[in-house]
Amino acid sequence: MHIITTPGAMSAWSDEHRVAGRRVALVPTMGALHEGHLALVDEARRHADVVAVSIFVNPLQFNRPDDFTAYPRPIDDDLAICRAHGLDAAYVPTASDMYPSGFETHVEPGALATVLEGAQRPGHFRGVTTVVAKLFGAARPHVAVFGQKDFQQLTIIRRMTSDLDMGIEIIGLPTVREADGLALSSRNRRLTLAQRVAAVCVPRALDRLAEACSTGERDTVRLTELARSIVDAEPLARFEHLEIVHPDTLESLTTINDHAVAVTAVWFDDVRLIDNRLLSV
Ligand code: PAF
């Protein structure tokens, strides 16, 4: 496995494969790799001849310095996981490789980034679009794979890729879950044992909502209240938001007529977990 640290070396690696007629896939991550990331890699392999993972904890997308500092960075374990999983390359730039002195250009997302997560975490998606554009610029992939757990992120990245004519196929993969339903996330490893047990209230709330929707409830206020009551009943959980929106436009819905997605964020002390559920009637 090639370990690549600079944008120039990343482009050279990718160009070599492109010239040889091979399809290149990129799986962008912030490390602390888990089964969910490996599912993205497996999916990438189905669409490309060579697969690179990027591992970079992007300072631009953290709106709280404490969250950035606390974000897990087990880089040796991550590289061992990548090797064991047969990755062709791992791109692990430093912050100064990505943002050298004088760096001043950002990718500004539009209205999709002002709602939901974007309303709670100002600047977050501008940081995401900027780093993903840079990762795409360096890795020049034909295809990139992202998890649907970050549903809004996936929607915004699809928009950016199309708006900026990047010509990269974006694939979204359904969320990988623990046996009890908790979505896999690098942040889960920051939960205490008691919080980890309590965190199952998040998928349960979404299950309850989806079940009520499938049995005929279409009113989003009533559906939201139903789900919220499950989170509120858990003493270690602090509800942040749950909204039911259109999956393409992310606009709030009052009634579910065809497709919708319920997205939520719940805190466990200083750990914020997100999850979502696609709904269709
Ligand atoms: O989803 C993530 O891990 C990050 O937001 C991403 C896409 C790697 C950009 O830093």
Same domain? 75 vs 105: yes
29 CA to middle of ligand 1, Å? Answer: 5
Amino acid sitting at position 94: T
Give the CATH number for residue 121: 3.40.50.620
User: What does residue 38 show for φ and ψ, rounded to 5 degrees?
Assistant: -65, -30
The answer as to whether 281 is a domain residue is no
User: Helices 124-139 & 151-163, crossing angle to 10 degrees?
Assistant: 60
Give the CATH number for residue 246: 3.30.1300.10
Same domain? 205 vs 248: yes
pLDDT by residue (tens digit) across 61-118? Answer: 998 999 999 999 999 999 999 999 999 999 999 999 999 999 999 999 999 999 999 9
DSSP the chain: -EEE-SHHHHHHHHHHHHHTT--EEEEEE-S---HHHHHHHHHHHHH-SEEEEEE---GGG-SSHHHHHHS---HHHHHHHHHHTT-SEEE---HHHHS-TT--------GGGTSTHHHHSTTHHHHHHHHHHHHHHHH--SEEEEETTSHHHHHHHHHHHHHTT---EEEEEPPPB-TTSPBP-GGGGGS-HHHHHHTTHHHHHHHHHHHHHHTT--BHHHHHHHHHHHHHT-TT-EEEEEEEE-TTT--B-SB-SSEEEEEEEEEETTEEEEEEEEEE-
Same domain? 16 vs 122: yes
Same domain? 155 vs 205: no
The answer as to whether 181 is a domain residue is no
Same domain? 231 vs 114: no
The Cβ-side half-sphere exposure at 80, using a 13 Å CA radius, reads 4
Domain that holds residue 195: 186-275
Same domain? 71 vs 132: yes
Ligand 1 contact via 14 beta carbon (within 6 Å)? no
Amino acid sitting at position 204: R
pLDDT by residue (tens digit) across 1-25? Answer: 999 999 999 999 999 999 999 999 9
DSSP 74-94: -HHHHHHHHHHTT-SEEE---
Local confidence band at 247 (pLDDT 50, 70, 90 cut-offs): very high
Same domain? 109 vs 15: yes
pLDDT number for residue 196: 98
User: What does residue 30 show for φ and ψ, rounded to 5 degrees?
Assistant: -110, 20
Same domain? 80 vs 201: no
Decide which of 173, 206, 232 is a domain's last residue.
173
Decide which of 127, 146, 173 is a domain's last residue.
173
Number of neighbours of residue 155 by Cβ within 10 angstroms:
24
Pocket mutation for ligand 1, best pick of 73, 153, 157, 160 (most atoms within 8 Å of C-beta): 153
Same domain? 167 vs 235: no
pLDDT by residue (tens digit) across 181-220? Answer: 999 999 999 999 999 999 999 999 999 999 999 999 999 9
The answer as to whether 55 is a domain residue is yes
pLDDT number for residue 2: 98
Same domain? 94 vs 139: yes
User: What does residue 272 show for φ and ψ, rounded to 5 degrees?
Assistant: -110, 120
Decide which of 118, 149, 173 is a domain's last residue.
173
Ligand 1 contact via 150 beta carbon (within 6 Å)? yes
229 CA to middle of ligand 1, Å? Answer: 31
Rounded CA-CA distance 207/201 in Å is 10
Same domain? 161 vs 57: yes
The answer as to whether 280 is a domain residue is no
The answer as to whether 268 is a domain residue is yes
Same domain? 30 vs 109: yes
The answer as to whether 180 is a domain residue is no
Q: How many domains does the chain have?
A: 2
User: Helices 201-214 & 220-232, crossing angle to 10 degrees?
Assistant: 150
Ligand 1 contact via 30 beta carbon (within 6 Å)? yes
User: What does residue 203 show for φ and ψ, rounded to 5 degrees?
Assistant: -65, -30
252-256 average pLDDT score = 97
147-152 average pLDDT score = 98
Q: Among all residues, which ones are annotated catalytic?
A: 37
Amino acid sitting at position 162: S
pLDDT by residue (tens digit) across 25-62? Answer: 999 999 999 999 999 999 999 999 999 999 999 999 99
Local confidence band at 161 (pLDDT 50, 70, 90 cut-offs): very high
pLDDT number for residue 159: 98
Number of neighbours of residue 58 by Cβ within 10 angstroms:
21
pLDDT number for residue 11: 98
Rounded CA-CA distance 279/112 in Å is 19
